[in-house]
């Protein structure tokens, strides 16, 4: 007997059906429609400007997924995730520009794809290094530890030493044609968007499956009550460090992706504000939800773009607005967080969950 529609939703007869990703034909239709919009509609029919906005949303979401894993699913507060994105970006850049690749790999366009994987591992291991104090401290003290990762990595190591490799000064130049994936040269907004969409999809699938595994259940147990989790036999140190590695890996991949979207790489691309921005994204989108990382990224990037579109025409009458636009964005970011904390503390993902339940249960009030 197949699934039967009942007033309160779908009826499942076994565990496999209950744990299915797409549990009904309607959900399958919605997800296929979403994939069609992301992979066909936007890149083929949207203007190049909005394709670039979509790419920025994807980059933000890739960075926010790692923060969501640490804060939302494991209860480990971090304010230094931009450092691990920077490690991934610089690892990928140095491997593409400095590593002596065999000529056949360069001709086949394999150098950059390999560097993306290496960037993930490098950032993951670097993240574990700064996650080691989580074995002994938590809360406010862990926040300070992750902030130290930001200042030590970006402001000291990358700025003062790594950026000087090759005598380039503060920035690594990435000439057109440097970033290749197979025969495809990443030199247009549409190609970069497709690359982002594939990476983000793979990261969402990987994280979602991890959260349904033994490790995912251990992370949630640690978040809810680490003492009780340890009493139940969970090795909390091991799983905390695993969470840091996975979060750092995703951050490193996000940083390696950013290399394909810029002509020059500088430590200025990874300020402390980026770490705060990613935390704000999951607060607005919803803590403890993969949807939250996506919704928060869409909301924040689109709002900032609309704000910019509103301010630019006013620049003819109020030139100081253009000069102070960076501060206007910071103020809008702070106001958005305050507004959500006060009026929608569970984030956009929770509101989306309520809307879905309303339609699924209609016309029954329960």
Per domain, the residue ranges of the chain are 1-10+21-42, 46-361
Residue 184 host element (H or E):
strand 184-185
Mean pLDDT calculated for residue range 86-97: 93
Mean pLDDT calculated for residue range 254-280: 92
User: Residue 225 pLDDT more than 90?
Assistant: yes
According to CATH, the topology of domain 46-361 is: ABC transporter involved in vitamin B12 uptake, BtuC (1.10.3470)
Mean pLDDT calculated for residue range 129-150: 89
Rg of the chain over Cα atoms, rounded to whole angstroms, equals: 22
User: Residue 6 pLDDT more than 50?
Assistant: no
Calpha distance 61→335 (Å, rounded):
21
3-state secondary structure of 29: helix
User: Residue 3 pLDDT more than 60?
Assistant: no
Calpha distance 292→349 (Å, rounded):
5
pLDDT interval class at 366 (50, 70, 90)? low
pLDDT interval class at 169 (50, 70, 90)? low
Residue of 338 and 328 predicted with greater confidence: 338
Mean pLDDT calculated for residue range 61-74: 96
pLDDT confidence of residue 106: 84
Residue of 243 and 136 predicted with greater confidence: 243
3-state secondary structure of 271: coil
221-224 long-range contacts (CB < 8 A, ≥24 apart) are: 222/74, 222/75, 223/72, 223/73, 223/74, 223/75, 223/288, 224/75
pLDDT interval class at 211 (50, 70, 90)? very high
Calpha distance 74→221 (Å, rounded):
8
Mean pLDDT calculated for residue range 255-273: 91
pLDDT confidence of residue 24: 74
pLDDT confidence of residue 25: 77
What percent of the chain is predicted at pLDDT more than 70? 94
pLDDT confidence of residue 4: 47
- Name the packing angle between helices 290-314 and 347-361 (round to 10°): 110
Range of 10-14, 105-109, 299-303, 357-361 with top mean pLDDT: 299-303
pLDDT confidence of residue 7: 46
- ω before 317 within 30° of 0 (cis)? no
User: Residue 2 pLDDT more than 50?
Assistant: no
pLDDT confidence of residue 34: 92
Calpha distance 359→365 (Å, rounded):
11
pLDDT confidence of residue 234: 94
Calpha distance 283→340 (Å, rounded):
8
Mean of all residue pLDDT scores within the chain:
89
As beta bridge partners, residue 11 has: 4
Tell me which of 90-99, 258-267, 311-320 is least confident: 311-320
Q: How many CB atoms are located within 10 Å of the residue 108 CB?
A: 14
């Amino acid at each position: 007997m197949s699934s039967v529609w009942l007033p309160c939703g779908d009826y499942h007869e076994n565990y496999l059906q209950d744990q299915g990703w797409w549990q009904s034909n309607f959900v399958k239709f919605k997800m296929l429609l979403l994939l069609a919009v992301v992979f066909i509609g936007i890149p083929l029919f949207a203007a190049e400007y909005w394709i670039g906005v979509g790419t920025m949303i994807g980059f933000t979401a890739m960075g926010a997924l790692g923060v969501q894993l640490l804060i939302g699913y494991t209860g480990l507060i971090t304010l230094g995730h931009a450092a691990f994105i920077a490690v991934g970006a610089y690892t990928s850049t140095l491997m593409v520009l400095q590593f002596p690749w065999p000529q056949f790999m360069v001709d086949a366009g394999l150098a950059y794809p390999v560097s993306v994987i290496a960037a993930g591992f490098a950032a993951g291991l670097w993240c574990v290094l700064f996650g080691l104090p989580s074995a002994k401290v938590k809360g406010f003290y862990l926040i300070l530890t992750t902030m130290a990762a930001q200042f030590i990595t970006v402001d000291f190591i990358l700025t003062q030493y790594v950026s000087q490799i090759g005598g380039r000064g503060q920035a690594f130049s990435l000439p057109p044609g440097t970033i290749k994936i197979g025969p495809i040269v990443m030199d247009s907004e549409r190609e970069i968007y497709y690359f982002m969409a594939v990476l983000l999809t793979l990261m969402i699938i990987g994280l979602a499956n991890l959260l349904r595994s033994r490790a995912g259940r251990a992370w949630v147990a640690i978040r809810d009550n680490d003492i009780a989790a340890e009493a139940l036999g969970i090795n909390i140190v091991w799983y905390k460090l695993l969470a840091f590695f996975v979060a750092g890996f995703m951050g490193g991949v996000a940083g390696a992706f950013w290399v394909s979207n810029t002509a020059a790489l500088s430590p200025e691309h990874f300020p402390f504000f980026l770490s705060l921005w990613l935390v704000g994204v999951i607060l607005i989108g919803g803590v403890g939800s993969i949807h939250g990382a996506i919704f928060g990224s869409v909301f924040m990037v689109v709002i900032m773009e609309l704000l910019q579109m509103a301010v630019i025409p006013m620049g003819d009458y109020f030139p100081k607005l253009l000069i102070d636009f960076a501060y206007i964005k910071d103020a809008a970011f702070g106001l958005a967080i305050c507004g959500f904390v006060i009026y929608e503390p569970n984030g956009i993902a929770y509101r989306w969950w309520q809307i879905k339940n309303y339609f699924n249960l209609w016309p029954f009030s329960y």
